[in-house]
Amino acid sequence: MFGKYKPMWGEKTQLKSSYDVVIIGGGLHSLATAYFLAKEHGITDVAIIEKNYIGFGGAGRNTAIVRANQRTQYNVPLYKEALDLWPVLTKELDYNLMFNNCGNLNLMHSEAAMKAARMTIATAQFHGVESHLIDAKEAKELVPALNISEDITYPIHGAMFHPPGGVVRHDAVVWGLARGAAKHGVEIHQQTEAIAINTSNGKIVSVETSRGSISTNKVLISAGGYSAGLIYKMLGIKLPISVLTIQAMVTQPVKPLLNHVVSSGAYHCYANQTLKGEIATGAHMDHWPNYTTQTTAHYIKHQAEALSEFLPCLRGLRFMRIWAGLADMTPDMAPILDGNDQIEGFYFNCGWGYFGFKSCTASGKYMAQFMADGEAPDMIKPFNLKRYEQHKLMGETAELVSYTPNN
C-alpha cells in the first residue's frame, strides 16, 4: 500500500560547478526558501549545502510550538502568515505535517504581567489574530493539571489564550519541505561543508565547499544558530547576535493529559504533550554565548522545580531525555532578514532566537521573493540590519538591552 521505498529527496548526486543560487544550511529556513524559489519563482537551479544532515540543527531540536501572538505590529502579520501556511503546505507537499491546533496558554503571574499581556492581545486582535486574556479559573478549566493556588513561587493570575496556535511535527516539516524542494529540482547536498564565500568588486562570485568550488552570484546563509559565526568568518560582517544554548526535554509517554501548550515566562518553562504522549518541556538558556549542544545538570533540575510548582501532577512522571540546540538571539528578539546590500547577491536570514521553527514557512516564502526580485518585500523590510545603528529596535521584548544577552 505504500509502494516502493525511494529516497525522499533524490539520489545522491555530484556537486555541479555552478548554480543560480547556493543556500548554506540545510535547516527549515533554507529548505523553505529553496522550495518557494523553485515553486513560486521558477528558480530551480538551487543547491542546498549542509555540513551534517538536513534538520541537524534547530530544525530537529525545537519542540515545534507554533503561534502568532507576538508583541509588535511588524511581527504579528509575519507569524500569522507562517501559522496559516501549515495546512496549506500539508496539502501542497502531500506530507502530513501533523499540525495539532491545540492552542497556547501563556501564564501570567502578576497584575503587571496581566496588563502587559493586554497589549500583546490587543495587538493580535487588531491584526485579526485570535488571542484572549483569561483568569486563573478559566485557565484551570482548560488545563486541569494547573496549580492555581497561592502556594507557589509565582501564583497564576491568569493567562493569554491563543487558540490558533499549537504544535507541528518538526521532523515532518524538514522531510516534507526537502521532498517538495527536490521534486522541483532543488539539489540537497548533505555532508558538504561551506568553507568560504568569494566576492569580487562587492559581488558574490563563488562558494568554496568541502566538495569543491561552486560559482554562483546569489548566496543565502540561513544556517540557524551557526549563521552569525559563519557570516563573520566568511565575509567579516558582524551581527548583533548572541548564540545561546537552549535546552528541551521529554518525559516518558503517557495517555492524554495536557490538551494545550502551556508556557510561563516567570518560570522560564513551557510544556506540551506530543502526539506520542511525552510531555515536552523546555525554554531556559544559559546567558552566555555557546555553540555547544551539551545539556546542563542545572537546567534539568530547574525545569523539574518549575513544573513541580505549576503542573504538580507531573512530579509522578520521569524525565527521559534532554537535549540542546542553538538560539541566535538579537537584542530586540526579532530576526534579521537582509541582503543585496553590503555585498551584491549576498542574503542572510538569522537572529530568530527560539522563534525559528514557528516562522520558517513565511520566512522562506518572503526570502525567496527577496532573492528572486533583489528587493526586500514590504513584509520583511523592517527586519533589516541597519535598524540597530538607527536606534530602531523592534521591541519584541520590552526588556532593555544590557551588556549580556538577557532573554
Partner 1 sequence: MVTRITQLPTLRIDPAQKVVFDYKGKDYAGFKGDTIATALYHNGVKIFGRSLKYHRPRGLYSLDGECSNTCMEVDGIPNVRTENTLLKQGMKVKEQNVKGSAENDMMGFIDKLDFMMPAGFYYRTMHKPAVLWPVAMKQIRKAAGIGTISPDFEMPGRFEQIFPSADVVVIGGGPAGMNAALAAADKGLRVVIMESRPWLGGFFDYRTVDYRDSEYKKNKQLYIRAKELASKVESHSGIRVFKHASVVGTYTNNLVTGFQIGGEKDNFTERYIEIRAKSVVVAAGCIERPLLFENNERPGVMQVGCVHRLARTYGIIAGERAVFSVGHDLGLEAAIDLFDLGMKILCVADVREDGQNPYLMIELAKRNILLLKGWVVSEAHGSKRVKGVTMTTLDGTISRDFECDLVAASAGFTPINGHLTLAHAKLRYDSHTNFFVADTMPERTYSAGRMLGLEDSLSIEVSGMLAGLKAALECKKFYDAGICKTSDGVANSQESINQLSSEIDTVTAKLKELPGTARGSKFVNAPVKGRKSFICFDEDTTIKNIKQAVEMGFDVPELIKRFTSAGTGPGQGGIPGHNLPLYVAKYTAAKNSSSGSHPKPTNVRPPLVPTFISTYAGRKHIMMKRTPMDQMQRADGGVFRKIGVWERARYFSNDFSCKKEIENVRNNVGMLDGSTLGKFRIHGPDALKALQRVYVSDMSKVKAGRIKYSAMCNDDGCVIDDGVVIKLGENDYYFTTSTARAGSTIEWIRYHTRFDGWDFYLVNLTDSMGVINLSGPNARKVLQKVISQDNDASIQDVSNEAFPFSGYREFMIKNTIPVKAMRLGFVGELSYELHVPSSYMVSLWNMVKEAGKEFNIQNFGVEAQNVLRMEKCHIILGQESEQRTNLLDLGLGFLWDRTKKDAKTIGAAALRHAENDPTRFRLVGFKMEDNGRAPNDGALIVDDKVRGYVCTARDSFTLNEAVGMALVESHLAEIGTRLAIFEDECKGELIYGKVVPMPFYDPDGRRMKS
Partner 2 sequence: MSLTITCPVCGKRDGYEFRFGGEDKGPRPEEDSLTPQTWCEYVHLNKSVAGVQKEWWVHKDGCGSWFTIYRNTVMNVEVQESEACR
Residues within window 218-237 making contact with partner 2, judged by CB under 8 A: 226, 228-229, 232-233
Contact flag: residue 164 with partner 2 (CB under 8 A)? no
Q: Which residue lies nearer to partner 1 by CB, 340 or 384?
A: 384
Q: How many residues bind partner 2 (CB under 8 A)?
A: 34
Task: Please choose which of partner 1, partner 2, none residue 242 contacts, taking the beta carbon within 5 to 8 angstroms, the exact cut-off set by kind.
Answer: partner 2
Task: Please choose which of partner 2, partner 1, none residue 243 contacts, taking the beta carbon within 5 to 8 angstroms, the exact cut-off set by kind.
Answer: partner 2
From 219, 235, 241, 306, residue interacting with partner 2 (rule: CB under 8 A) = 241
**Minimal distance, residue 243 CB to partner 1, in Å:** 18
From residue 285, give the alpha-carbon distance in Å to each of 257, 273, 290, 302: 26, 21, 10, 11
Distance (Å, rounded) from C-alpha 275 to C-alpha 170?
12
- Binding segment (CB under 8 A) for partner 2, from list 70-78, 113-121, 197-205, 291-299: 291-299
Q: Which residue lies nearer to partner 2 by CB, 26 or 364?
A: 26
From 12, 118, 203, 238, residue interacting with partner 2 (rule: CB under 8 A) = 238
Task: Please choose which of partner 1, partner 2, none residue 288 contacts, taking the beta carbon within 5 to 8 angstroms, the exact cut-off set by kind.
Answer: partner 2
List the grid coordinates of 5.
521505498
Distance (Å, rounded) from C-alpha 36 to C-alpha 338?
17
CA dihedral 65, 283, 289, 383 (to 10 degrees): 40
Contact flag: residue 331 with partner 2 (CB under 8 A)? yes
**Minimal distance, residue 121 CB to partner 2, in Å:** 30
Say which DSSP state 400 is in: P
Burial class (CB in 10 A: 0-12, 13-18, 19+), 77: middle
Contacts with partner 2, 247-286, as mask; x by CB under 8 A: ---------------------------------------x
Task: Please choose which of partner 1, partner 2, none residue 303 contacts, taking the beta carbon within 5 to 8 angstroms, the exact cut-off set by kind.
Answer: partner 1
Distance (Å, rounded) from C-alpha 194 to C-alpha 205?
14
Distance (Å, rounded) from C-alpha 48 to C-alpha 353?
22
Residue 202, classed as helix, strand or coil, is coil
From residue 325, give the alpha-carbon distance in Å to each of 58, 104, 339, 353: 6, 22, 26, 11
From 96, 144, 191, 288, residue interacting with partner 2 (rule: CB under 8 A) = 288
Distance (Å, rounded) from C-alpha 332 to C-alpha 400?
9
The binding site for partner 2 (CB under 8 A) comprises 226, 228-229, 232-233, 238-243, 245, 286-292, 294-298, 328, 331, 388-391, 401, 403-405
